[in-house]
Chain A
């Protein structure tokens, strides 16, 4: 039994303009202590996938199908009480913008203690002690002083550390990190990723690392899934994705990573605008932007196909290549 098992998860936003299928049939599993990277351009449904797992979708979003199992227990359709006791306790989440994700009118300590008081039977004073301990753990100096400060009194990097401390205060099994470093500058970015890695080893944490930046997942993840228009279009190990990408979209993402060795190298962004989620093409959602697109790509949705051990891609080109090989 996996720690977290997501099967066929689908989520839509029912807007006045029509149904937006933000997530369509997403499946993956997460084992204890593992890190899975979820990558894709902005708007590809990464955050909505995470909100669906946590069931913190806002109006007019709703899970329309599929299953999310935590240690075998079904979360989709479970009572509010059950999922509330898992949120922040067994599965925690941190967000991109630590400035807006912390409540400006309460102290850091107050917000840290909240989850501790809620999910453990610690008293108020013990909760404060735990808050200080957590701040120390995430590398914040003078934690006794920081607990009494307000979010706006801290730097961006420090606030993201507070978010991590807050998420880990109840010793969850899973941390979902939604673009945790996107709002930070490069040096701080590296520090936060380093911190997450270190804490993962110390606490035996499983991490779902969401990012639009393949560079971020490179050194962090055991498994990577690539999302486009609400679907997983390729998945595999970090080596598979970086050295043998089998989907044109993944290749495009790789070409757009700035390389550290070669500063003068030209970055090639993927051409074309991300797909209009209200008018998804009937074939492969990426086909309008794909320069290798064939006729079938426009009319039929490719399923995920195995490209080897735990390496899948949903692209008709692979079928053509395989058919070509078979013919020879």
Chain B
């Protein structure tokens, strides 16, 4: 690894940390700017009780002090107790939700990438053939279908009309439909991206050089073409992850899965300050980390990347 690259990675890392800090800062400010106190929702509590509760959760201290206390705790992975579910640590709730969501999201992303790259390469190889045309039509339909519509369609088809798959995410094989709902859009997109990128690469001079060396077609496709064709796909991986994370909020609800999305929506409904902040921070850490990985991967695949 060159010094230039180390510097580049350092810069990215710094940027990632700053992003997370900013998220914490903004969430904290917004949370404390909304007028509703978490305690004036629950029926009519006597004012004395509310004051006592606010003191217990530290809500009576000046904002800046509250912020730094919070920040210090967050750095120790302590997000405090849930305000809604008394006596339960935010971290414990998030841990469960994170596991569900991460499994769902990563499976969907992996499926989308693997199938997308494979189908895209096939389409490029058999350019303008029947397979290519079919792939084009299907992917065009797919990219115009939002994941929640697809989720409902699948739910109705395989859960109601021809009930062969479980409709709840927590049952065995239950994650099948949610994964498919989430992955079809990015899969279609990756397929199209791979196809056009591959066609572009196959017309490059170095592909001709590879043929002139006597290499056979499959070696040229998988060694010389694919690696160059991957660059735009890695670039797309960032937005894809964002899409999957957001899509999973809705899909988790549809399939009754206790993921981060469900906790996030519940905590907003319950004005559960600590949960909202914990979830937001966790989500931002996840996004920033994945984007960071994409950036690094990018430089590994393509050595020409300008580290500036």
Residues on A lying within 8 angstroms of B by beta carbon are 51, 54, 56, 58-59, 80, 84-89, 92-93, 95, 97, 100-106, 114-115, 118-119, 150, 152, 163, 166
Stretch at the interface among B40-48, B165-173, B235-243, B298-306: B298-306
Pick 24 A–B contacts, CB within 8 A, sort by A. A51-B208, A54-B211, A56-B212, A84-B215, A84-B216, A85-B214, A86-B214, A87-B214, A88-B213, A88-B214, A95-B205, A97-B205, A101-B205, A103-B224, A103-B228, A104-B302, A104-B303, A105-B301, A105-B302, A105-B304, A152-B303, A152-B304, A163-B209, A166-B209
Q: Name the CB-closest residue of A to B202.
A: A58
| B228 CB contact (under 8 Å) in A54, A89, A105, A118 | A105
The answer to whether residues A58 and B203 also contact, given A87-B213, A105-B228 and a CB cut-off of 8 A, is yes
The 4 A-B pairs of least Cβ separation, nearest first, read: A88-B213, A87-B214, A88-B214, A100-B205
CB contacts (< 8 Å) of B213 on chain A: these are 87-88, 114-115, 118, 166
Q: Name the CB-closest residue of A to B201.
A: A103
The answer to whether residues A101 and B208 also contact, given A58-B203, A150-B303, A150-B304 and a CB cut-off of 8 A, is yes
CB contacts (< 8 Å) of B293 on chain A: these are none
- Per the bound structure, the CA–CA distance linking A102 and B215 in Å amounts to 14
Q: Name the CB-closest residue of A to B210.
A: A103
CB contacts (< 8 Å) of B215 on chain A: these are 84, 88, 114, 118
Please encode chain B, from 265 to 308, with 1 for each CB lying within 8 Å of some chain A CB and 0 for all others.
Answer: 00000000000000000000000000000000000011110000
Please encode chain B, from 213 to 239, with 1 for each CB lying within 8 Å of some chain A CB and 0 for all others.
Answer: 111100000001001100000000000
Q: Name the CB-closest residue of B to A163.
A: B209
**Does A101 lie within 8 Å of B209, measured CB to CB?**
yes
| A87 CB contact (under 8 Å) in B203, B211, B304 | B211
Question: With an 8 A cutoff between CB atoms, is B204 at the interface?
Answer: yes
B103-157 interface (Cβ within 8 A of A): 127
**Does A102 lie within 8 Å of B209, measured CB to CB?**
yes
Question: With an 8 A cutoff between CB atoms, is B206 at the interface?
Answer: yes
- Per the bound structure, the CA–CA distance linking A56 and B303 in Å amounts to 28
A170 CB to nearest chain B CB (Å): 9
Q: Name the CB-closest residue of A to B128.
A: A59
The answer to whether residues A103 and B206 also contact, given A150-B303, A150-B304, A152-B304 and a CB cut-off of 8 A, is yes
CB contacts (< 8 Å) of A101 on chain B: these are 205-206, 208-209
A55 CB to nearest chain B CB (Å): 9
A22 CB to nearest chain B CB (Å): 16
- Per the bound structure, the CA–CA distance linking A150 and B228 in Å amounts to 14
CB contacts (< 8 Å) of B304 on chain A: these are 104-105, 150, 152
